Amino acid sequence: MGEENIFAGSGSEDELIFAEEDQLAADSYEHEQSWKILIVDDEKDVHTVTKLVLDDVVFQNKKFDFISAYSGSEAREILLHNNNIALILLDVVMETESSGLELVKYIRDELNDKDIRIILRTGYPGQAPEKQIIIDYDINDYKEKTELSSQKLLTAVISALRSYNDIITISVLNRTLEKKVEERTKELIKANDSLNESMDKIEKDLEAGRKIQTKFLPKNNIVINGYNFEHALYPSLILSGDFVDYFRIDNRYTGFYFADVSGHGASSAFVTVLIKRFIDDFCEKFHLENDRTVLSPASVLISLNKELLEINLEKYTTMFFGVIDSKEDKLIYSNGGQFPYPYCSCGKECRVLEKSSTPVGLFKFSKYEDSELDLCGDLSIYFFSDGVLEILPQEDLRDKQKFLKELLISGKSDINSLISELELKENADFPDDITIMKIYKVK
């Protein structure tokens, strides 16, 4: 697909078929035959070209079903009778200069629909400045028609649908869990003998969930672009709210993150999956359209913070996101409230990266900045989740941090030694999830 502006003409396109997402999400939409996309624009040519660009696209085995509205009032009427629209491609200036923005407020405030994704498209950016619109209105993307190529439109639409899919999937999963709990409660009231059987089924479901979550974790003790990554994760329950990932961005850059979602169990585990898919989207954009957002940890945390607040799962995460530049042997990082702070150890010296900000998905006003660290010599970087602090015998927090620092200086700094010193065992009864990660350059 070319990079020409889609509103200046469009050629024929080969059919694009996107790989099916995980089976759980597919099952949730089995009854849906297509993605409903509402195009709201007073220019008929915009409708025609948009449909031409997207008509042959298949995403998760479903094609697009387009609905057209040529004014804000017409769109309102359509939304009243359609509750399964996934995405709106919305013009700003129609019957009035603010018709599109008024429709956004109507959807979010009056219809109370937080799920539907809204991409704002405007031919008059001066009348609707991007910075102010993003701040004041609950939209998911902002595009100027003059710079919107067919490829960029496709990328924006697929990203929005993937986000919508995640939101609805989590909602369906939550409703399914609630229904299961209700059914189990009724069974327990009827007969006490059903207790063991019901608990066994729940445990098997959670164990299946754990296997799925474990598959999302990266391989342990691997080398990427000259740097070794290894980790150990001990959940307090069957499912974990802790999560780590490290991955090759290209032959020069390697990304990684260390996250700890608030709470425990299934709901927190669902958020770890959402975070992984969110980061994967940025990697995909890097390769498809040279979007370099993934190379800026602060930009990633800013976007994820906005996404979690929009979804409103009442969940947040502490998260350290880093990118290693193997050509320059440099770490670019941003810390969204991850504590204890990472330790940088080199021989008998050990210091902490104390620069941090607020957790991700907790406050709208959160700000994140990129910092840099030279990765020279025998430097190793260690990450501990706060669950480690809860199992240490020291009373004072500073003494706990001092103990970890001395442990790394003592030479007992490989993952297995740390596991032994901290007395971590599989299936032990920990008060919180416990995770350790180590990164170092391979000689």
pLDDT in tens, 268-320: 888 888 899 999 999 999 999 999 999 999 999 999 999 999 988 889 999 99
CA dist 38 → 62, 207, 353 (Å): 16, 40, 47
The answer on pLDDT for 197 being more than 90 is no
User: Do 338 and 383 contact (CB within 8 A), yes or no?
Assistant: yes
3-state helix, strand, coil in the chain (%, to 5): 40, 25, 35
Positive/negative CA dihedral, 383, 385, 386, 388: negative
Q: What is the rounded distance in angstroms from the CA atom of residue 321 to the CA atom of residue 283?
A: 14
Helix ranges (DSSP H) in 106-240: 130-136, 150-190, 194-216
For residue 53, give every residue at least 6 positions away whose Cβ sits within 8 Å of its Cβ, in sequence order, or none: 1, 6, 10, 13, 150, 153, 154
Average the pLDDT over each of 188-192, 206-210, 280-284, 316-320 and give the range with the smallest value: 206-210
Name the 3-class secondary structure at 442: coil
pLDDT range class, residue 207, cuts 50, 70, 90: low
In angstroms, the CA 172 to CA 146 distance is: 38
Q: Where are the domains of the chain?
A: 6-166, 215-441
Whole-model pTM over 0.85? no
Q: What is the pLDDT of residue 414?
A: 85
- Side-chain-facing half-sphere of 207: CA atoms under 13 Å: 7
Mean pLDDT of 237-259: 90
The per-residue pLDDT for range 11-43, each reduced to its tens digit, is 434 334 433 443 444 444 445 689 999 999 999
Are the C-beta atoms of 175 and 168 separated by less than 8 Å? no
pLDDT of residue 195: 56
Confidence of residue 131 (pLDDT cuts 50, 70, 90): confident
Share of the chain above pLDDT 90, in %: 54
Residues 359-383 pLDDT 10s:
999 999 999 999 999 998 788 999 9
215-441 homologous superfamily: PPM-type phosphatase domain (3.60.40.10)
Examine residue 340 and say whether the peptide bond preceding it is cis (omega within 30 degrees of 0): yes
Instruction: Give the list of residues 6+ apart from residue 328 with CB closer than 8 angstroms, or none.
Output: none
- Please report the beta strands in 74-131, taking only residues with DSSP state E, as ranges in sequence order: 85-91, 117-122
DSSP of 102-114: HHHHIIIIIS---
> 226, 326 in Cβ contact below 8 A?
yes
Question: What CATH topology corresponds to 6-166?
Answer: Rossmann fold (3.40.50)
- Average pLDDT value over all residues in the chain: 85
- Residue 182's pLDDT is what? 83
Return the pLDDT at 87: 96
Distance CA 258, CA 333 (A): 11
**Can you give the pLDDT at residue 27?**
47
* Section 410-428 average pLDDT: 84
Among 159-168, 222-231, 427-436, which stretch is predicted with the lowest mean pLDDT? 427-436
Query: Any idea which residue has 């945390």 for tokens?
Result: 301
Residue 9 pLDDT more than 50? no
Overall average pLDDT of the 133-143 stretch? 88
Whether the per-residue pLDDT at 184 is higher than 90: the answer is no
